[in-house]
């Protein structure tokens, strides 16, 4: 008699805990990468400002072949949740050609630091804000890595 009562209490307790757990963000099947803003005193060349969202979009398509890339201002695809990636470049150090030619490897590469914001495009709810720093070529890969480790994007 005692064992069924305890078992019933455990089942009820587990059900209450499961319903009280915070909901995970839904997996997104589309991504919008907005142009990054630049802090006023940072001299980011226009080609870097244009290339950053394009590089992020390219890295996403390499990691997730079925994810839809939505251009800023385009309507979201019907039936697809959209993850919006935006940010602000807070530091930029131009490449040093002398170091690049003498040392090689990533020495002398342009360095970029950005505050990146991941949000649900339909609600505007911010999911994560992170600072990313690195050689300008690797910043896009680091941003996509946040998407991978957070399990936000679904690949069908």
In a domain, 143, yes or no: yes
| Cα-based torsion angle of the residue sequence 113, 32, 71, 122 in order, rounded to the nearest 10 degrees | -130
Stated pTM of the model? 0.76
- pLDDT class for 36, splitting at 50, 70, 90? very high
What is the predicted pLDDT for the residue at 22? 54
Distant-in-sequence, close-in-space partners of 92: CB < 8 Å, separation ≥ 6 = 38, 42, 43, 44, 48, 110, 111, 112, 113
55: domain CATH number is 3.40.50.10610
Domain extent, residue 56, equals 26-150
Which residue is it, tokens 């946040």?
Answer: 146
In a domain, 11, yes or no: no
> Highest mean pLDDT range out of 2-6, 62-66, 95-99?
62-66
In a domain, 12, yes or no: no
In a domain, 9, yes or no: no
In a domain, 21, yes or no: no
Q: How many domains does the chain have?
A: 1
* Interval 82-106 mean pLDDT: 77
Going 104 to 110 to 112 to 118, the CA torsion angle's sign is: negative
In a domain, 8, yes or no: no
Going from the C-alpha of 71 to that of each of 15, 68, 83, 139, the distances in angstroms are 42, 10, 12, 20
């Amino acid at each position: 008699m005692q064992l069924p009562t305890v078992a019933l209490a455990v089942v009820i307790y587990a059900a209450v805990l499961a319903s009280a757990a915070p909901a995970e963000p839904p997996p997104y099947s589309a991504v919008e990468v907005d142009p990054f803003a630049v802090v006023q005193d940072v001299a980011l060349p226009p080609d870097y400002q244009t290339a950053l969202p394009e590089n992020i979009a390219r890295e996403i398509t390499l990691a997730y072949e079925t994810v839809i890339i939505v251009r800023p201002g385009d309507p979201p695809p019907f039936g697809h949740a959209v993850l919006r990636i935006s940010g602000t470049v807070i530091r930029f150090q131009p490449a040093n050609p002398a170091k690049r030619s003498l040392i090689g490897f990533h020495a002398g590469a342009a360095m970029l630091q950005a505050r990146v914001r991941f949000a649900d495009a339909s609600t505007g709810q911010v999911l994560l804000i992170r600072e990313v720093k690195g050689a300008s070529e690797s910043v896009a890969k680091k941003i996509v890595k946040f998407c991978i480790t957070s399990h936000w994007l679904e690949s069908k």
